[in-house]
Structure 1
């Protein structure tokens, strides 16, 4: 509620419903309120009415000592707990001050008010407008409180019960299919909410040992609660991730080898590291042994700085020069084949079944390769792309995302891109204005995380079901720095961001964290 210190209090009179008497003093002086004690049945009735107005509760039906009910209202209702109510509407405000309509708020007087301005000329607003902006800001930062969520869930359950009752009038086949569809899709409680992302920052992954350079590599272990960090400071660090202590497990320093890419293998027993060198390294976590691989036979490359691991753990796909993609056996670390596309390779991604590889060229062309035959089976053009940077496929195989040099991320239906040469994207995400450097889907294919290393706080989370961007995160106080690496944990409980200051920031996604606890 808003108050104006300069507004005079309105004169009042003692009535049958009043609990105070306003006494008027001399002219120009404020009037004070004298409490009046009210007793008996009249006081009980007034107390109930006051509670209904202040707390927004509806009045319970009064029951006399004889057990008979008094005057009942026609618009009675029953909530999910079986309690009967009447009177005040549920969604109406519990209290509204008429003085707010006449109040004017100076938006330039305080810093926190300046942040609520929507336009440059927005200097003075009315009381209701200011209250609405405060309410919106609170919901963006903290979301709905628990009591409001429980109320909404109760209303949803009531609507579902009423819908199920109305389904009885439908034909048996149609009603059965509708109810079965709801069961197959899961309850609304387990689906990711649409509007706000429930994120909480927890202790940094590498707080016990901050990196001496930008965190270029950051990844969660596929099965264990472990994460790796690496970068140009030539050191690989392993941490146990619990969101609280995040204890450091091991550090491996590689002499004269700035690390630009590091990945766990599919079985989680090794870490493969590459950099701006002709050789790359493999660290065996079980034996605690590091091995240097002196180049790839059959290929004359100046460096092997970027690669990815196939989901079935069979291949390492290195990005070479002149459009070459080099396949190396993960078991023998020897060359087994290569692919050739036009232009330079911007990014590659395996499909979840490892049967196909998508390569995104700097000319905006996306090639679909059959891994077994090493043949291009399809090619399509990313709409509006000038220079391609990153490509990704969702774990359920439904979506394909392409991030370009201009910061635009196009999200496609996989069935469309596999059938057409110029498919139309489901949505063009234009929230980034600099080159897309990081792109990843979460494990449930509900979130697409994208980021750019060229600008501070340039991270966006896309809700895939609605193809909208979460507006409440990151906010102005997130202070993420320039994201030099990004990764989502296998169960989507955590989001990790590395930045140029050597920090590996850790954020807990409460929706998935609570689901895993249950």
Structure 2
């Protein structure tokens, strides 16, 4: 089959190669302290990442408006979005924008907070960026190749990526490593951040960044969450769970609040303002917990388990419960294998959840009605063998994407939104 698009620079071996050399300290990396990170770009390098003052201002205004709405009713509709039908979703299956640039199993997917760009992290250690459309006003997929650039980290199995500094930089993390990487989208520079000395003898498993990029949390050993100032890596506090922690996150609406999920279903609420205080409740009917997700609106927290059950809780009701056993507002039992990922849309109208253990095991739900959309996945997808690993909604719900174990992307245009 002929490729859809061929880059003459690729054909003639003239793809721009930028080798960024840097010193990496630490005993494990002393023998190779001049790491080389290969960055490939098409077109003018990093041109797309240039953000105007208006872009940054608009983004700040939107974040401020969202923050002012926190704690309100369910599903504060995002800009350009309409209310959803209870059980029928209007959507369109789009083509794989990563075709021709598959780099191995995808571990994480993220939409850029401002520009219509989709970013993937592969277990091979490669971050790839794809431009979906030229402008926010026209959400039709652009013609030609979507590939913008990629950056490869040798011997670094990527687990997660996060945007920070207004979308101009990416934080990349990997379990069982003694360092993190940051990638500056404006100048193409890669930097290594060595874990603080306090973590030298510990095994790190998860890394999470607060929504504003102020704090970074690292889960070490089985139940210790170390919180640092991201800019200085000053150790602020260590939260210690009673059981093995399987997942944790910073509250999107408050950088000083963290939620953690233990293997026995215990959901802890930690507060950097009052570190000695600890609130806990138990996920209803949990056998073995697997995943935790908190909505950006601050209303919902979802817990997934190895039985395929996803329970959704109203945080306001949880805060008022004194018996540590609140009832979930919604329970979803459509999966038959262990929950691998859970994610809310930015306005919390929708929630996606899925399992990597079974093909096409992903469902989309309506958070207002507690029902799943019966027409998703689309009929033409039912016989696909894709196994999903991660999910993400675009900032205003125009797009929804899934990463797969096969290294491909699933991309959907959601009909209830007209803004990226």
Q: 2:303 aligns with which of 380, 390, 402?
A: 402
Q: Does 1:504 align with 2:409?
A: yes
For 2:359, what is the secondary structure of its paired residue? coil
Q: Does 1:365 align with 2:257?
A: no
Q: Distance in 2 between matches of 1:398 and 1:234?
A: 34
Between 1 and 2, higher relative CO (CA 8 Å, sep ≥ 6) is seen in 2
Count of residues in correspondence between the two structures: 329
What does residue 244 of structure 2 align with?
344
Select between 285-294 and 474-483 the one with higher mean Cα deviation. Answer: 474-483
What does residue 370 of structure 2 align with?
467
What does residue 327 of structure 2 align with?
424
Cα deviation, residue 417, structure 1: 1.4
Q: Distance in 2 between matches of 1:270 and 1:375?
A: 33
* Alignment TM-score, normalising by the size of structure 1: 0.60
Summarize the Cα distance change of 1:240–1:334 in structure 2 as closer, same or farther, 3 Å threshold.
farther
* Alignment TM-score, normalising by the size of structure 2: 0.74
Summarize the Cα distance change of 1:301–1:343 in structure 2 as closer, same or farther, 3 Å threshold.
farther
Give CA-to-partner distance per residue, 1:346-379, whole Å, 9 cap, x none: 1112222324211000011000111333334311
What does residue 202 of structure 1 align with?
94
Alignment of 1:384-395 (within 5 A): 384-395=285-296
Q: 1:279 aligns with which of 160, 179, 183?
A: 179
Cα deviation, residue 305, structure 1: 4.3
Q: Does 1:237 align with 2:132?
A: no
The structure where helix makes up a greater share of residues is 1
Kept in 1, the 8 Å contact 2:164–2:212? The answer is no
Q: 2:84 aligns with which of 176, 180, 192?
A: 192
The structure where strand makes up a greater share of residues is 2
Q: Distance in 1 between matches of 2:240 and 2:107?
A: 27
What does residue 249 of structure 1 align with?
148
Give CA-to-partner distance per residue, 1:81-107, whole Å, 9 cap, x none: xxxxxxxxxxxxxxxxxxxxxxxxxxx
Q: Does 1:477 align with 2:372?
A: no
Kept in 2, the 8 Å contact 1:301–1:320? The answer is no
Q: Distance in 2 between matches of 1:275 and 1:230?
A: 11
Select between 498-507 and 304-313 the one with higher mean Cα deviation. Answer: 304-313
Unaligned runs of 5+ in 2: 1-75, 134-140
For 2:343, what is the secondary structure of its paired residue? strand
Summarize the Cα distance change of 1:480–1:397 in structure 2 as closer, same or farther, 3 Å threshold.
farther
Alignment of 1:241-320 (within 5 A): 241-242=132-133, 243-245=141-143, 247-265=146-164, 267-276=166-175, 277-320=177-220
Kept in 2, the 8 Å contact 1:195–1:471? The answer is yes
**RMSD of equivalent CA atoms:** 2.1
Unaligned runs of 5+ in 1: 1-183
Q: Distance in 2 between matches of 1:266 and 1:487?
A: 20
For 1:354, what is the secondary structure of its paired residue? strand
Cα deviation, residue 185, structure 1: 9.5
Give CA-to-partner distance per residue, 1:421-473, whole Å, 9 cap, x none: 10011121101111111111101110011111111111011101110011110
Q: 1:486 aligns with which of 380, 391, 400?
A: 391
Q: Distance in 2 between matches of 1:291 and 1:426?
A: 43
Give CA-to-partner distance per residue, 1:272-296, whole Å, 9 cap, x none: 1122322221112122111122222
Q: 1:495 aligns with which of 400, 407, 415?
A: 400
